[in-house]
Amino acid sequence: MSEEITVKKQKEIKIKTIPKIKKKAKAENLDSSINNTPSRIKQEQFSVSNEQKECDPDTLSSGFVTQHAFLLGIIALILLVNQFQIGDVQAAIGTPSTLSSAGSFVTGKSLSAAGDTVIGPQLQADGKTTKLVEWPTISSYDRLAKTGDAIQDAMNYVVPSGVPFYVTEGEGATLLQGVSFDDPITSQKVFAGLTGSNRFGTANLIELSSEEEQRYDKLTGIFTCDYCCGGPTQVTIINRCGCAHAYAWKGMTRFFIKYYGDTYSDEQILGEMTKWKALWYPKGMVGDYLLYTGQSSSESPHGGSTGHQDGSSSGSSSISDLENLPGMVGGC
């Protein structure tokens, strides 16, 4: 009988203790809520922890600890998988240090006066967005002197002219008859024909070795089809695009890997492909140039590309001036 009375008293003591502790915790939380800072959260968590300990030490059971450890393990696993995925994309697109030393990305304020570089999009590590970089290229051409007109000067810098050397000389040149910077539509069809597709003909398919095919898959897996396909937060990669421009870039990739693979780096090949982007999407590429050089605001429409040469957005070029330029040349 005396034992039962003792047990009842202990239970009554525990039951009465809980409201007191809760009142104490509420008072402490009310005082700390005035500051509304991150420390408030820590104080509340600490208060609850003490309440649990004072009310019933058994609440911190092994099951409770195990559950939290399991959740932390899941979070750690998700973060690890995410890092591997980002690493895969980074390994594919390369960086100035990982790509061939035959060329390097230039992000300084001084732009090359020679026609052997081009400003254009580069796929970022997330695989969904792009940034603007200055690519090294394969061919070169003489750029016109500046006129003082922002749009015209951008056109002179971005849009190439003439016939590149690989059309008139070297092995494989016979496959490019009709290709010229001055005739982007014919050039598009010729390059697209090198893929061996039924849409553009199979007669001029360029066969690649297994090693060359691996390089082809790498480059076509990171080159973006901008301005007509995809969007600013979900760009389209040419190996997943069925437009005529994508076919032309894929044919171009096969050509350069087959006949100039030992001469030029991956980034030079990608740069040459980007140079042709200026012929097929003048408005978007000129807009990118103005953005990159700080002559227009970051709100400029630029085919989903993000980024700026120096992180600023100075300059006063009117975006309406770009409306006179064609948005797309050639079939889609």
Q: Region 144-154: what's the mean pLDDT?
A: 88
- Radius of gyration of the chain measured on its C-alpha atoms: 31
- Distant-in-sequence, close-in-space partners of 48: CB < 8 Å, separation ≥ 6: 25
Q: Region 288-299: what's the mean pLDDT?
A: 81
Residue 106 and residue 122 in contact, taking contact as beta carbons nearer than 8 Å: no
Q: How confident is the model at residue 330 (pLDDT cuts 50, 70, 90)?
A: confident
DSSP string, 154-219: HHHHHS--S--HHHHSSTTGGGGTT--TT-HHHHHHHHHGGG--TTT-STT-----HHHHHHHHHH
Does residue 108 register a pLDDT over 90?
no
Strands 130-136 and 117-123: antiparallel
Q: Model confidence over 241-258: pLDDT tens digits? A: 999 999 999 999 999 999
Q: What is the pLDDT of residue 134?
A: 94
Q: Compute CA distances 191 → 132, 221, 243, 331, whole Å.
A: 25, 18, 13, 13
Query: Looking at beta carbons, which pairs linking 245-249 to residues 24 or more positions away fall under 8 Å?
Result: 245/188, 245/280, 245/330, 245/332, 247/191, 247/192, 247/195, 247/197, 247/199, 247/200, 248/187, 248/188, 248/189, 248/191, 248/192, 248/276, 248/280, 248/330, 249/191, 249/220, 249/223, 249/225, 249/273, 249/276
Rounded to 5°, the CA angle 218-219-223 comes to 125
Range in 50-54, 113-117, 209-213 with the lowest mean pLDDT: 50-54
Q: What is the pLDDT of residue 266?
A: 97
Q: CA nearest 197: which of 157, 155, 153, 247?
A: 247
DSSP code at position 230: S
Does residue 95 register a pLDDT over 70?
no
Does residue 112 register a pLDDT over 90?
no
Strands 305-306 and 130-136: parallel
Q: What is the pLDDT of residue 116?
A: 87
When comparing pLDDT for 61 and 299, which is higher? 299
DSSP string, 42-92: HHHHHHHHHHHHHH-GGGS-HHHHHHHHHHHHHHHHHHHHHHHHHHHHHHH
Q: Model confidence over 2-47: pLDDT tens digits? A: 444 444 444 444 434 444 434 344 444 434 443 443 333 333 333 3
Among all chains, which residue has been given the structure tokens 């937060």? 233
Q: Model confidence over 41-85: pLDDT tens digits? A: 333 333 333 433 343 444 434 554 455 556 666 655 655 544 444
pTM summary value: 0.66
* Side-chain half-sphere exposure of 310, counting CA atoms within 13 A: 13
